Structure 1
Amino acid sequence: MPLASSLRGAKDAVLRVALLAACGAGLAGCDALDSINPFGPEKYKPEIIQRRPADKIYSEGLAKLEDHDYDEAVKRFENLDKEYAYSDWSRKAVLMTAYSNYEGQKYEDAITAAKRYLQRHPGSKDAAYAQYILAMSHYKQIPDVTRDQERSERALAALQELVQKYPTSEYAADAKAKIQITRDQLAGKEMAIGRYYLERRNFPAAINRFRDVVSRYQTTRHAEEALERLAEAYMALGIVGEAQTAAAVLGHNFPDSPWYKDAYALLQSGGVEPREEKSSWISKAFRGIVGIEQTAEAQ
């Protein structure tokens, strides 16, 4: 018999002995073999996990909110959203996630959740509230006027969107009031930069900043000073006509303002008086505005 055939025969005999030894007279050895055999008789038995009732998870989230445990409240509502996706419970959960994050001062997370709600449910009865949470989360992060005002710009945009899309909602009145505050903040930043340039006699740069206030933020408390500062800068550059117009518009809209008195005295020291040039950008910016307070109330 060839050597190769003898070796194969010996190998087969060894395997048969090993299998018999493993099984033996009992079943334990054979069970062990079955456990490593992917084609064996054992079948996978799936474990059925019962879902917790949605109302129970929601109630737990509300309880955590009541205890001011906002992180745990967020966890409950996020779990509810995942376990009952595409249901009305999911809709409520996303909104409450936004609110819980807002109350916990995690404004970026609140913004994310509010946006998610508005993307999923733009026409729901609570969409205005989601937009309000979104706007207020930006509003709460408005910095002082010495810092970058990107947050203020975002807050203004979100508040304006709330008023435009949901003008009859219960949040519209508060949004309008905060729009005015936010606009005042943005105008204050422009004024601070304008004064900086004016003090350093960089009159063109100063004019650009004061012009922005006059053009965009006429209903803020900074409009009076901006007009007077424009009169200063234009007089310094020898652009007398624009200085006269700035003073005239200031006197027309704010006749009792101390800023008008300063502008009037400035022009008199230069041998001229306030006189409005209708073709001036200043005149066009304020055309049709009778008074700053009346304009603000009309918005």
Structure 2
Amino acid sequence: MNIRLFSQLSIASLLLLLSGCATDEAYDKAGAEKQYDAAKQKINLGQYNAAAFDLEKFSATFPYSSYATKGELLRIFSAYRGGEYTLTETLSESFIERHPKHKHIDYAKYMLAMSYYMQRSTKEHDQTHNKKAIESFERLIREHPTSKYAKDVQPRIQKLYNSIGEHELLVGKYYFDQDRYVAAANRFQKVVKEYQTTSAIEESLYYLAASYAEMGLSKDARQMALLLRHNYPDSRWSSKAKDFL
């Protein structure tokens, strides 16, 4: 075979190969779009867990498709709507780590915060998820202040703070009833310093004054009672605190 013929065959082979790649690429795009739309249809029908399962397979099958990140975001939404909050947390964290500059990164951060929020606990239980939710919501506000997802989070943040404040108050009262006044005072002080905008503040001020009084710290007890009466004059706890004045 002469050099000219070899070159012609090489060019023809290359063109055939490129043609095949283009065909495969078009096929993959069509397949990705079809599966993505099928998952969206399941979501429209309320089949969230089934859609999340399909989108897991979708991500494995079309990792480099133009629909890949759309599929990831849709899977986060599906997991959340299906009540799979731990999975939502995992998927959101993964998306944030791998796509920090994505145009919808604010949504992923919002969904991470919401996954913690939906796993929040009452005042009687561990407050880990409540604290993580606050941290995530505040990160969203700080990093994306103009995001539409940052606009409705303040009431949720306050609700979480209330729960944490009430938890500290509850633990403090337990120590108080056990005559462990130093431990009790530490809990009430935490509410006064860190959760003063919560529903636990009035009662915490009263019990802090009472703890000081039990420890013989009458000056400190009076100071707390005065602070309570000044800030919450109509509170029933202000009335009870008159014994420390």
Structure-1-length-normalised TM-score: 0.70
- Please show how residues 128-277 of structure 1 align to structure 2 within 5 Å: 128-264=106-242, 266-267=243-244, 273=245
Structure 1 contact 82–90 (Cα < 8 Å) conserved: no
1:114 and 2:114 matched? no
Question: What is the CA-CA distance between 1:87 and the residue it aligns to?
Answer: 4.2
* C-alpha displacement of 1:71: 2.3
**In the alignment, which residue of structure 1 is the partner of 2:71?**
93
Residue type at the aligned position of 2:39: G
Q: Is the 1:111–1:134 Cα contact (8 Å) retained in structure 2?
A: yes
Q: CA 1:245/1:87 → structure 2, altered by over 3 Å: closer, same or farther?
A: farther
* CA offsets 1:79-138 (integer angstroms, 9 cap, x no match): 332333244411111111111011111111111111121112222221111111111111
Between the aligned partners of 1:200 and 1:120, the Cα distance in structure 2 is 50
Residue 102 (structure 2) pairs with residue 124 (structure 1): yes
Task: Find the counterpart in structure 2 of residue 67 from structure 1.
Answer: 45
Two-structure CA RMSD over aligned residues (Å) = 1.7
Q: Structure with the greater relative contact order (CA < 8 A, sep ≥ 6): 1 or 2?
A: 2
The DSSP-based 3-state class of the residue aligned with 1:116 is helix
Hey, what's the Cα distance between the residues in 1 that align with 2:57 and 2:170?
47
Amino acid at match of 2:55: F
Contact 2:134-2:157 within 8 A present in 1 as well: yes
Matched letter for residue 102 of structure 2:
S
Contact 2:121–2:127 (8 Å) recurs in 1: yes
2:32 — aligned with what? 54
Does the CA-based 8 Å contact 2:32-2:65 persist in structure 1?
Answer: no
Deviation readout 1:133-160 (Å, 9 max, x if unpaired): 1111111111222222212121121111
Confirm or deny that 1:83 pairs with 2:61.
Answer: yes
Size of the alignment, in residue pairs?
A: 220
Decide whether aligned partners of structure 1 residues 177 and 183 sit closer, same or farther in structure 2, where only a CA change above 3 A counts: same
Q: Quick one: distance in 1 between partners of 2:166 and 2:219?
A: 26
For 1:83 and 1:163, the matched residues in 2 are separated by 35
Give the residue type in structure 1 aligned to 2:34.
K
Other-structure match for 2:6? none
Q: Distance in 1 between matches of 2:164 and 2:153?
A: 16
Alignment partners' CA distance in 1, 2:66 and 2:163: 40
| Structure 1: gaps of 5 or more residues | 1-47, 268-272, 274-299
Distance in 2 between the 1:251 and 1:180 partners? Answer: 24
Identical aligned pairs, as a percentage?
33
Alignment-derived partner of residue 15 in structure 1: none
The answer on whether the counterparts of 2:59 and 2:71 sit within 8 Å (CA) in structure 1 is: yes
1:173 to partner: Cα distance: 2.6
Q: Distance in 2 between matches of 1:110 and 1:261?
A: 47
The residue aligned with 2:19 is none
Q: Distance in 1 between matches of 2:45 and 2:83?
A: 15
Give the structure with higher Rg (CA). 1
Q: Secondary structure at the match of 1:155?
A: helix
Per the alignment, in what secondary structure is the counterpart of residue 119 of structure 2? coil
Partner of 2:10: none
